[in-house]
Amino acid sequence: MTTVLDDLAAIRVLPVVVIDDPAHAVPLAEALLAGGVACAEVTLRTPRALEAVKLMSSVPGFLVGVGTVLSTQQAEDSVANGARFIVSPGTSIFVIRAAAALGVACVPGVASATEVMVARDEGLSTLKLFPAAQLGGPAMISALRGPFADISFVPSGGIGIDNAASYAIDGVASVSTSWITPRADIERGAFAETIERARRFRNEVAR
Ligand code: 3PG
């Protein structure tokens, strides 16, 4: 049986979603599925994000998680609304331990070797590198993989269609991006474009 982290790594792409209207949640998940990307990280940056998560969690074959999780309470609320995994921008022991207690996967953000060690000490081996491009991109991942060959990274931040292929390297579990799901596209229901963007991005990072 595969784990959620195995499934995310198999999908190879993690769309970062900022959603305002939950009415768009199911059509968005269906568009991503149609584009070959069966997952999304819905960020807690809008008031109705958790409603969107709940709706997306009912879409068969679609794996939904919550991002921008900054507290234990947010982790609990996320799981109560159907999140299968938790993503945070940084390394919070509180969030990591909350996810463990809730029995869901956690992908905390790291930006340094020290943070990798903190997360690794908590038993985690898939970590978000954030903000990836600003930290040095693929070169930063290769450098961290020297001492941390047992860690897989989900680079996030500053990755779009033009530099996605450079992240198709050893040590990358999945590539995170908001390029597939621009907030404005979601708002105007431009889901044909979502399908096309998902396909294009996925082709760039396929190995
Ligand atoms: C985020 O949390 O905003 C992600 O890192 C996505 O970054 P991006 O918008 O640069 O893809």
| 109 DSSP β-pair partners | 128
Give Cα separations from 57 to 30, 78, 100, 106 (angstroms): 11, 11, 20, 17
**Closest ligand 1 atom to 132 CA:** 5
The pLDDT of residue 3 = 96
Catalytic residues: 41, 128
* Pocket, ligand 1, Cβ cutoff 6 A: 16, 67, 89, 130, 156-159, 176-179
**Closest ligand 1 atom to 158 CA:** 10
Among candidate residues 21, 40, 19, 44, the one with its CA nearest the CA of residue 30: 40
**For 4-205, which CATH class?**
alpha beta
46-97 per-position pLDDT tens digit = 999 999 999 999 999 999 999 999 999 999 999 999 999 999 999 999 999 9
The pLDDT of residue 18 = 98
**Which H or E element spans position 127?**
strand 126-129
pTM for this structure?
Answer: 0.96
